[in-house]
């Protein structure tokens, strides 16, 4: 796998394997923190929301193809409208107009995104699609009042160098993720994560107005927990095992697997916190974690297989070719069926939510 | 054909029949007025382009999938930059940032548009795609400095009522366009055109900042010239003849043709002028026509067939089904080959260009 910058959109289309139908785990994570985010907006947003602002701009970075992005945006709009009415206790105030920028990589399916947007009769905002990597500027300076991103910052801008190099101490062997088993690999991923996060926050700092809020939601590891101890890490390890089985039958090769590693990194919470604290452009208004709302639910094997398939398909196809994915996830389903995940035994990731205010 | 609001994007894809490869006629029209538009911007744009504006916003309404839209936008940006430097005769001024909104119907191929945009190293602006009919608001109020539209306003929001109704005096018989042969039909189309143009200008008036410029480029008929006397009208009549021939062989039916009429209207210049003058939100800074730069060129039959195919395919497919288009344009090519267009004999449309300033 090349270590240059790539992008891997969520599975498109509307079939059973698409992200549109397999993003309820992410949605539950977002829903779990929704009320806290609303509260933070009500408490922290102070943009003199009187006559001086008539257009309110929101951007969702890494929006994918819905439906989560539309829900998140609507929730923000409802909250800002409420706040606007409260701060302008007059009957004749001009209602705010909202413009929402939906950003994702250029190869995201924007046609699909536009097709699945709320009906124009319900849509209370002007919508715009913005193609381009959020690890860089995508919007004019000083133009956004609230930025939002959820379940995106574990995607690195690239696979860390050396991770797919047999000669390097940071070689990830035939593991396909940063599972925290090899210290040098973890270090390489961590360096890339910190660098990417810095670039992300610098770009957002330029795009947000002073006093604007940046909301960041995602999953991370609890402090002291390596990924290989979590059930999420275990599922990806199992996918790696399936690939190795497929290499034995000649469908793919061990060499090909050794050249592959996901550009995905889940930091521990304190790592994430430190990275954000080091940024000088934002004040941290809130940075917390909650358990994922599904933590105490027994996820079915089918749900788990579908969720990881929608998340990982594009990357796997790009490296291993089109013919591999069906076989791979059939094998995953079989393995999970033979050895169901004992959720009591495995640790789990947590949902973090961060509200930053532009200085 | 239903008379409700529809949209018919230009032929997508990148094959020989696509709009991307068959829009050079439109491009030549736009190029023909480019210098005049640049001059108008230099003379009329007075937005106190000093430190008070740091982001300059441009919108292209009805952008289709390129390449013409990118060229038009770049030309505007170059001119505004030049003006900005001239008006701010300092060495240390902060460069303007540009944001460009590319608007077209929701079923326009925005993925293709984004894919064919200038390389990020050359692209001097932040790009956003805005889906939605320009016969209505698509952007927040007071948010655009220069609006642009070219070769779009002959597209009506719908086929005028009664035109496809056998019982109506405005029935267009088996003609497939408003060729100006039937007075009642012309009237119905004209009423729709005026209504659409009013809606278009009202929406743009809300979206543009005060002092902002709206540039409108397109083709119209010279005063006193009906469409049936022009070679462009003649080509579409010939397409109608081909359809009637196909009805005789059973590929389509005369009834189907009677229910079809293009939602396209080319006004005479004075009609267009009057419609724009009646709008109260804009001052007319410039409204003129030029001959199309290709007027004295002998267009080949192949060029003409390809141009009309890219322009009309989507509409024809939606009404007559997928299988008809190849056959239809093969027949057009044959007819043109047997009876080449005598450009000396036919009259022709002219290119109009309008520069409006928001009051």
pLDDT digit string, tens, across residues B132-181:
999 999 999 999 999 999 999 999 999 998 999 999 999 999 999 999 99
Question: What is the value of ipTM here, to two decimals?
Answer: 0.90
Task: Point out the residues of chain A with pLDDT beneath 50.
Answer: 1-5, 50
Contact state of A97 with B129 under an 8 Å Cβ cutoff? no
**pLDDT score, position B22:** 67
Residues B334-350 have a mean pLDDT of 94
SS3 A119: coil
Contact state of B137 with A126 under an 8 Å Cβ cutoff? yes
**pLDDT score, position A122:** 76
SS3 A166: coil
Contact state of B141 with A109 under an 8 Å Cβ cutoff? no
Indicate the pLDDT class of residue B3, thresholds 50, 70 and 90. very low
**pLDDT score, position A328:** 96
Contact state of A110 with B129 under an 8 Å Cβ cutoff? yes
Q: Which fold has domain A19-358?
A: Rossmann fold (3.40.50)
- Residue A351 near residue A218 (C-beta atoms within 8 A): yes
CA distance B300 to B326: 19
Contact state of B114 with A110 under an 8 Å Cβ cutoff? yes
Report helix, strand and coil shares of chain A as percent, to nearest 5.
Answer: 40, 20, 40
Residue B20 in this model has a pLDDT that exceeds 70: no
CA distance A9 to A30: 19
Contact state of A128 with B127 under an 8 Å Cβ cutoff? no
B206-240 confidence digits (pLDDT tens): 999 999 999 999 999 999 999 999 999 999 999 99
CA distance A55 to A58: 10
Calculate the CA A25 to chain-centre distance: 12
Contact state of B131 with A130 under an 8 Å Cβ cutoff? no
Residue B58 in this model has a pLDDT that exceeds 80: yes
**pLDDT score, position A20:** 65
**pLDDT score, position A257:** 95
Alpha-carbon distance A113 to nearest alpha carbon in chain B (angstroms): 10
B248-268 confidence digits (pLDDT tens): 999 999 999 999 999 999 999
Nearest to A219 by CA among A68, A355, A352: A352
Measured in degrees and rounded to the nearest 5, phi and psi for residue B350 equal -120, 165
Minimum mean pLDDT range among B22-31, B173-182, B279-288: B22-31
CA distance B286 to A51: 35
**pLDDT score, position B52:** 66
- Residue B101 near residue B61 (C-beta atoms within 8 A): no
Provide the token pair at A159. Answer: 């696979």
Task: List the domain boundaries for chain A.
Answer: 19-358
Among B53, B63, B140, pick the best mutation site for testing chain A contact (most A Cβ within 10 A): B140
Q: Which residues of A touch B (CB under 8 A)?
A: 54-55, 97-99, 101, 106, 109-111, 114-115, 117, 120, 126-132, 137-143
CA torsion, ordered B191, B194, B196, B197, to nearest 10 deg: 170
Provide the token pair at B216. Answer: 């409108």
Residue B119 in this model has a pLDDT that exceeds 90: no
Provide the token pair at B30. Answer: 């736009």
Q: Which residues of B touch A (CB under 8 A)?
A: 54-55, 97-99, 101, 106, 109-111, 114-115, 117, 120, 126-132, 137-143
**pLDDT score, position A177:** 96
**pLDDT score, position B137:** 96
Contact state of B55 with A109 under an 8 Å Cβ cutoff? no
CA distance B60 to A173: 51
Provide the token pair at A35. Answer: 């009320």
Q: In chain B, whose CA is at the least distance from the CA of A54?
A: B141
Q: In chain B, whose CA is at the least distance from the CA of A110?
A: B111
Q: Which pTM value belongs to this model?
A: 0.92
CA distance B188 to B160: 6
């Amino acid at each position: 796998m090349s270590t240059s910058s790539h992008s891997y959109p969520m599975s498109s289309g509307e079939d059973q394997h698409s992200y549109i139908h397999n993003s309820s785990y992410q949605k539950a994570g977002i829903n779990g923190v929704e009320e806290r985010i609303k509260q933070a907006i009500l408490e922290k947003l102070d943009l003199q929301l009187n006559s001086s602002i008539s257009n309110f701009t929101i951007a969702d970075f890494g929006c994918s193809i819905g439906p989560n992005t539309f829900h998140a945006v609507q929730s923000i709009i409802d909250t800002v409208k409420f706040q606007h009415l409260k701060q302008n206790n007059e009957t004749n105030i001009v209602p705010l107009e909202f413009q929402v920028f939906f950003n994702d990589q250029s190869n995201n399916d924007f046609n699909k995104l536009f097709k699945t947007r709320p009906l124009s009769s319900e849509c209370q905002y002007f919508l715009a699609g913005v193609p381009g990597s959020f690890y860089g500027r995508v919007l004019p300076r000083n133009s956004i009042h609230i930025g939002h991103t959820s379940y995106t910052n574990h995607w690195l801008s690239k696979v860390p160098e050396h991770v797919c190099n047999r000669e390097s101490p940071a070689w990830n062997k035939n593991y396909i993720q940063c599972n925290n088993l090899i210290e040098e690999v973890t270090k390489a991923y961590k360096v890339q994560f910190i660098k990417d996060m810095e670039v992300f926050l610098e770009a957002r700092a330029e795009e947000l107005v002073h006093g604007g809020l940046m909301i960041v939601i995602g999953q991370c590891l609890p402090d002291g927990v390596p990924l290989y101890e979590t059930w999420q890490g275990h599922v990806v390890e199992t996918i790696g095992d399936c690939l190795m089985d497929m290499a034995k039958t000649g469908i793919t090769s061990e060499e090909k697997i050794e050249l592959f590693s996901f550009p995905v990194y889940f930091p521990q919470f304190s790592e994430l916190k430190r990275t954000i604290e080091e940024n000088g452009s934002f004040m941290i208004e809130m940075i917390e974690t909650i358990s994922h709302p599904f933590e105490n639910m027994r996820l079915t094997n089918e749900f788990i297989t579908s969720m990881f398939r929608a998340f990982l398909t594009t990357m796997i196809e790009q490296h291993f070719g089109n013919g591999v994915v069906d076989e791979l996830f059939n094998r995953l389903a079989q393995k999970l069926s033979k050895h169901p995940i004992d959720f009591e035994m495995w640790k789990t990731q947590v949902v973090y939510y961060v509200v930053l205010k532009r200085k």
